[in-house]
Amino acid sequence: MKNNNNANDSTKHANKKDPNIGATKTDYNSRTDSNRYQSDDETDRNSNANTETNQYHRRTKRSNSIEYYVEVMIAVDISMQRIHGNKLESYIINLMSIVSRIYKHHTVGNYIDMILTKIVLLDEATSKRIISSNAVSTLKKFCAFQQEHSTHNGMIDHFDTAVLITKHDTNK
């Protein structure tokens, strides 16, 4: 356990060396409220500012991150169109932006970018043909529908996966 005896007690925290990984781990329970939400880098810079020998060990990346791109088609049924009206496209874009940010988070381990390539607005007849109260039936029909709309020749509207957004309860 390392403790710096400098004048600013609010920057004290405990570092523990983990022999299995060779990196410094911070004991978050020993931090005070003033620096609880600082990153490890900020806290270590603050606690080591007045020391002559810097025993700071920077964490290294544990995996080789590869960038992945998932192209997504969104199909929206008539019930969602009625609810959101002319703000539907904005709603879909915001929703996909949130999903994309979640998949880009460092805790995922790899950089995954969700790219919205196509929005399909289902008319009432198509919505009724695809969506039912049986989830398995809805899934099978939607899979067939998305295969009809898939292009495999590298066109701009090509997609890797499709998502159906509906207000209907498919688990009755």
Phi, psi of 32 (to 5 degrees): -90, 165
State how far the Cα of 45 lies from the Cα of 51, in Å rounded to an integer.
Answer: 10
Residues 6 or more apart whose CB falls under 8 angstroms from that of 124 comprise: 78
Tell me the pLDDT tens digit for each residue of 21-73.
Answer: 333 333 333 334 444 344 444 444 444 444 444 455 555 554 556 788 899 99
pLDDT at 66: 78
Number of Cβ within a 10 Å radius of residue 166: 18
Phi, psi of 57 (to 5 degrees): -115, 115
pTM tops 0.85: no
Smallest CA-to-CA distance from 79 within 126, 116, 148 is with 126
Phi, psi of 166 (to 5 degrees): -145, 160
pLDDT at 59: 52
State how far the Cα of 73 lies from the Cα of 109, in Å rounded to an integer.
Answer: 24
Exposed/middle/buried for 76, CB within 10 Å: 0-12, 13-18, 19+? Answer: buried
Tell me the pLDDT tens digit for each residue of 108-164.
Answer: 878 888 999 889 999 999 999 999 999 999 999 999 999 888 877 667 778 889 999
pLDDT at 10 over 50: no
Spell out the domain ranges in the chain: 1-60, 67-165
Q: Which CATH class is domain 67-165?
A: alpha beta
pLDDT at 172: 67
pLDDT at 138: 93
Q: Which residue has the higher pLDDT, 155 or 96?
A: 96
Phi, psi of 50 (to 5 degrees): -100, 10
- Give how far Cα 85 sits from Cα of 30, 75, 77, 91, Å: 52, 15, 12, 10
